[in-house]
Structure 1
Amino acid sequence: MKNYLVVGGNSGIGQALIAQLLEQNHKVHAATRSQTNLPPGLCSIQSFDATIPSELQLPNSLDGLVYCPGTITLKPFHRLTREDFMHDLEINYLGAVHILQAALPSLKKSPSPSVVLFSSVAARHGLPFHSSISAAKAAVEGLTLALAAEWAPSIRVNAIAPSLTNTTLASPLLNSEAKQEAAAKRHPLHKVGNPEDLAAIASFLLSSQAQFITGQIITADGGISSITK
């Protein structure tokens, strides 16, 4: 049984991950902006807003931390404002920085701690109208590599870079059969991401089965970034 903190776990991938970790009989702590849709059995629940960093009461020892909050800001570059860029940076990157700095003492007390962050296929695969979110997620990937180097050998740090995933956040892009079909056809596997599948990757990276994996960006994108069909 391990002690995990999931940030942003009341919907989508985070919610699916909490459910999987609880099924594995781990102790799970949640830090979320909204405290709705959280399953029973959590060890603690705290309010967390990535745009308003605040002090959290963290467990003395943490075996793993997963930072799930994200945004999907899609606009032509000429319409993006400074506020758009700052909003994406605050939620995707600076919020993760705040949590990681706060959690570092607790992570250091675990014999084999693991950190999992979330990037996006857009960080390394050029997509139109993604300038703001691509830049924010690229910052997450840079942070992942830098911390993996700085915190080795004691703390493993990896990131997952999904393509479009069927979550509440992505619902405006998938809110009709026509949109779902078009999105699926853009991927060589002819499907969009599933929260449970992405959560399973995060669960694996937290586990002892991934003890030889750090500094990696795990791409889970239905083949869109590497296969042409």
Structure 2
Amino acid sequence: MSQGKILITGAARGLGLGMTRYFLQHDYQVLGLDIDKYALTELDEAQLPGLQLVHLDVADEQSVQTLSRLIERQFGRLTGIVNNAAISLPYHESIQQLSLVHWQRVLAVNLTGPMLICKHMANLLRPGSAIVNIGSTRAHQSEPDSEAYAAAKGGLIALTHALAVSLGPEIRVNAISPGWIDVSALQPGKNEPPPSPADHRQHPAGRVGEAEDVAALARFLLSAEAGFITGQEFIVDGGMSKRMIYLDNPAAE
């Protein structure tokens, strides 16, 4: 029996692909959106039961609005939304060299995109449904030269609690902020190396995260069992954000 129909943005590669597969395996119907035509074709050729795919730029309001009308006519109500689409590479040039075009595009996809999806899709959700925004631990911690990504993800966490207040009580809105999630096997057309043993060992949980770790929490947050949870951020990082890290010998650096 179907658990309902959910919309996942950025569904064709990386974490989004992992979550798409997870929800399909748990008897959800998935409407997957992505801007990557190659990844969409690869996923479409897999012919996964319960999956429908749409090519979409989440930062294009007209396209989002058009899709909303199409969903309403063809599918009716949704039971959940996962805002996952993002320009996921956090690094760019130094702040002195940061391109305004890059800054604006990252904010457009990573922050404006979820807002547009909620603006035009929230009315398709059944009362009691939920939205999950995929943030990042980089909303709270940074490495050099990651201003655009950090700012967008920080904004998404604030957008989450604002939406929870505005859309409640009919719709709940929460955020999941992953740390290091291994998506090396979920990148069509790319050959990325998996994490090393040292990468796993540095995590208090003993391993790097997997897409299923995020997907399982998203599934819970979309369910009626999470009916008293809204406006919250959940960190999924294997304990890394709680680990105090100092160089053993700073003078050696």
Rate the CA distance shift 1:106–1:99 in 2: closer, same or farther, 3 A: same
Rate the CA distance shift 1:10–1:191 in 2: closer, same or farther, 3 A: same
Secondary structure at the counterpart of residue 177 of structure 2 = strand
- 2:193 & 2:129 partners in 1: Cα distance? 41
- 1:176 & 1:45 partners in 2: Cα distance? 28
- The answer to whether the 8 Å contact 1:12/1:167 transfers is yes
Deviation at 1:176, TM superposition (A): 4.5
Q: 2:57 maps to which residue?
A: 49
Once the two structures are superposed, residues 22-49 of structure 1 have per-residue CA deviations (whole angstroms, 9 ceiling, x without a partner) of: 2222222122223232551235321112
Is residue 21 of structure 2 the alignment partner of residue 19 of structure 1?
yes
Q: 2:9 maps to which residue?
A: 7
Deviation at 1:192, TM superposition (A): 2.0
Deviation at 1:97, TM superposition (A): 1.4
Q: Which blocks of at least 5 consecutive residues in structure 1 are unaligned?
A: none
- 1:124 & 1:220 partners in 2: Cα distance? 13
* Alignment-mate amino acid for residue 136 of structure 1: A
Rate the CA distance shift 1:28–1:176 in 2: closer, same or farther, 3 A: closer
- 1:119 & 1:106 partners in 2: Cα distance? 23
Q: 1:73 maps to which residue?
A: 90
What's the TM-score, normalizing by structure 2? 0.79
* Alignment-mate amino acid for residue 219 of structure 2: S
Rate the CA distance shift 1:86–1:221 in 2: closer, same or farther, 3 A: same
Deviation at 1:170, TM superposition (A): 9.8
Moved more, 195-204 or 181-190: 181-190
Q: 1:96 maps to which residue?
A: 114
* Alignment-mate amino acid for residue 27 of structure 1: Q
* Alignment-mate amino acid for residue 218 of structure 2: A
Is residue 158 of structure 2 the alignment partner of residue 152 of structure 1?
no
Match 2:128 to one of 112, 128, 133? 112
- 2:114 & 2:181 partners in 1: Cα distance? 20
Alpha-carbon RMSD across the aligned residues, in angstroms, is 2.4
- 2:145 & 2:196 partners in 1: Cα distance? 19
Rate the CA distance shift 1:152–1:193 in 2: closer, same or farther, 3 A: same
Rate the CA distance shift 1:182–1:82 in 2: closer, same or farther, 3 A: farther
- 1:214 & 1:195 partners in 2: Cα distance? 22
Query: Based on CA coordinates, which of the two structures has the bigger radius of gyration?
Result: 2
Secondary structure at the counterpart of residue 96 of structure 2 = helix
Secondary structure at the counterpart of residue 43 of structure 2 = coil
Deviation at 1:189, TM superposition (A): 3.0
Once the two structures are superposed, residues 207-229 of structure 1 have per-residue CA deviations (whole angstroms, 9 ceiling, x without a partner) of: 12211111111101121212226
Q: 1:163 maps to which residue?
A: 179
Q: 1:221 maps to which residue?
A: 237
Once the two structures are superposed, residues 154-209 of structure 1 have per-residue CA deviations (whole angstroms, 9 ceiling, x without a partner) of: 101001101121125998xx9447x6345445533343221121111111111122
Secondary structure at the counterpart of residue 113 of structure 1 = strand
Rate the CA distance shift 1:210–1:87 in 2: closer, same or farther, 3 A: same
Rate the CA distance shift 1:191–1:199 in 2: closer, same or farther, 3 A: same
Secondary structure at the counterpart of residue 159 of structure 1 = strand
Secondary structure at the counterpart of residue 81 of structure 2 = strand
Q: Which blocks of at least 5 consecutive residues in structure 2 are unaligned?
A: 246-253
- 1:218 & 1:69 partners in 2: Cα distance? 18
- 1:50 & 1:137 partners in 2: Cα distance? 16
- The answer to whether the 8 Å contact 2:59/2:116 transfers is no
